[in-house]
């Protein structure tokens, strides 16, 4: 349990718990008391933690892809390369990057002016939904939001893609079928979680871009805010 893989897994589990905790308790309270109001400060706070833990989630998955790359392509040097100091540094960088990114979006949102008694057509406060309801100019907010999404989302995806291209190249060079199967099986859980995260996240943005229906957008959001974090422990636990 002290190997790098389990160190990253414990951090991922903590992030998933925190990620769900930012949305589900409030949603359950709303269902119970049939009152869906949220304060301005509460909405900003929810946006902050929602962005923080979603960015942290994908950053940790990128770090885990590098961990799998080292484990398969450099097995004899694995414990030397992935030493506790490097693992701690990778997680620390993920946290700092996520906090700064989330803080930037919230500070940008605070400069917007809103009319009173707004209705967000969603079960959570999402940044893009909040920006659409602003009465002031939102051009700068949209630019920052999309630039950060491309930088974090595409940057992480390219990092994962690079790691797996090296892994596939390494597996193809193996002579035994058993060795290939063993190498691939160590990546199966990680591939499943990455696919689940990116597919559900893309579903949210594609559904919101393709249709103005709030119901389809809510359904897609449930997938990445509830279903994906819930399935992650099952994927890794059953595999192990």
Q: What is the pLDDT of residues 52-83, one digit of tens each?
A: 999 999 999 999 999 999 999 898 999 999 99
Identify the pLDDT of residue 208.
58
Helix segments in 74-175, DSSP class H: 78-81, 84-110, 127-132, 139-149, 155-172
pLDDT at 222 over 80: no
Report how far residue 177's alpha carbon sits from residue 100's, in angstroms, rounded to the nearest whole number.
45
* CA atoms within 13 A of residue 45's CA, in its CB half-sphere: 9
Domain residue spans in the chain?
4-175
117 φψ region: left (φ > 0), alpha (ψ -120 to 50), beta (else): left
- Which two structure tokens, joined as six digits, stand for 16? 């998933």
Hey, what CATH class is 4-175 in?
Answer: mainly alpha
Residue 233's pLDDT band, with cuts at 50, 70 and 90, is confident
Report how far residue 145's alpha carbon sits from residue 139's, in angstroms, rounded to the nearest whole number.
10
Q: What is the pLDDT of residues 101-134, one digit of tens each?
A: 999 999 999 988 887 777 777 778 888 888 888 8
């Amino acid at each position: 349990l002290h190997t790098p893989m389990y160190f990253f897994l414990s951090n991922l589990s903590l992030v998933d718990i925190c990620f769900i905790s930012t949305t589900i308790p409030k949603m359950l309270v709303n269902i119970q008391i049939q009152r869906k109001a949220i304060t301005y400060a509460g909405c900003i706070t929810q946006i902050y933690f929602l962005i923080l833990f979603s960015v942290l989630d994908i950053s940790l998955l990128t770090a885990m892809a590098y961990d799998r790359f080292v484990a398969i392509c450099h097995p004899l040097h694995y414990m030397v390369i992935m030493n506790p100091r490097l693992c701690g540094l990778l997680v620390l960088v993920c946290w700092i990057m996520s906090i700064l990114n989330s803080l930037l979006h919230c500070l940008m949102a605070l400069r917007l002016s809103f009319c009173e008694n707004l209705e967000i057509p969603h079960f959570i406060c999402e940044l893009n939904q909040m920006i659409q309801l602003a009465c002031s100019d939102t051009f700068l907010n949209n630019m920052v939001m999309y630039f950060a999404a491309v930088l974090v989302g595409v940057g992480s995806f390219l990092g994962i893609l690079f790691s797996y291209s090296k892994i596939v190249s390494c597996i193809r060079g193996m002579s035994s079928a058993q060795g290939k199967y063993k190498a691939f099986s160590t990546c199966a859980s990680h591939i499943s979680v990455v696919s689940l995260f990116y597919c559900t996240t893309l579903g949210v943005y594609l559904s919101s871009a393709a249709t103005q229906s709030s119901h389809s957008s809510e359904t897609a959001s449930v997938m990445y805010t509830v279903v994906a974090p819930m399935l992650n422990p099952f994927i890794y636990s059953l595999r192990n």
